[in-house]
């Protein structure tokens, strides 16, 4: 499902659950119950399966993930040189 097609309540609930854990890469499993997004599980070591998670945006998924980690490493390096 394209992110633009995901109900806002699902996105916000997933972000709230993941942010409560930290700023890493997390998988959040949700279930809609009576129109409300409920957290089932937060995975701190999520699987990212080719052909599943990347079905819609293809390589853009991996580019986005790598870009986030690259920026974090660059910031870490900058803070050590100051």
SS3 of 6-69: the string is CCHHHHHHHHHHHHHHCCCCCEEEEEEECCEEEEEEEECCCCCCCCCCCCCCCHHHHHHHHHHH
**Domain-wise residue ranges, the chain:** 1-46, 48-82
Residue 16: predicted pLDDT: 97
pLDDT confidence bin for 17, thresholds 50/70/90: very high
Q: Looking at the predicted structure, is the pLDDT value of residue 81 above 90?
A: no
Residue 80: predicted pLDDT: 81
Q: Looking at the predicted structure, is the pLDDT value of residue 69 above 90?
A: yes
For the entire predicted model, the pTM comes to: 0.83
- Residues 27-62: pLDDT tens digits? 999 999 999 999 999 999 999 999 999 999 999 999
Q: Which long-range contacts (CB under 8 A, 24 or more apart) does 40-47 make?
A: 42/17, 42/18
């Amino acid at each position: 499902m394209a992110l633009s097609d995901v109900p806002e309540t699902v996105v916000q609930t997933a972000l709230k659950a993941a942010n409560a854990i930290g700023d890493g890469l997390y998988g959040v499993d949700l279930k809609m119950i009576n129109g409300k997004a409920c957290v089932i599980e937060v995975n701190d070591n999520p699987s990212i399966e080719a052909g599943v998670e990347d079905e819609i945006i293809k390589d853009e998924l991996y580019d986005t993930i790598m870009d986030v980690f690259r920026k974090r490493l660059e910031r870490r390096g900058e803070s050590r040189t100051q």
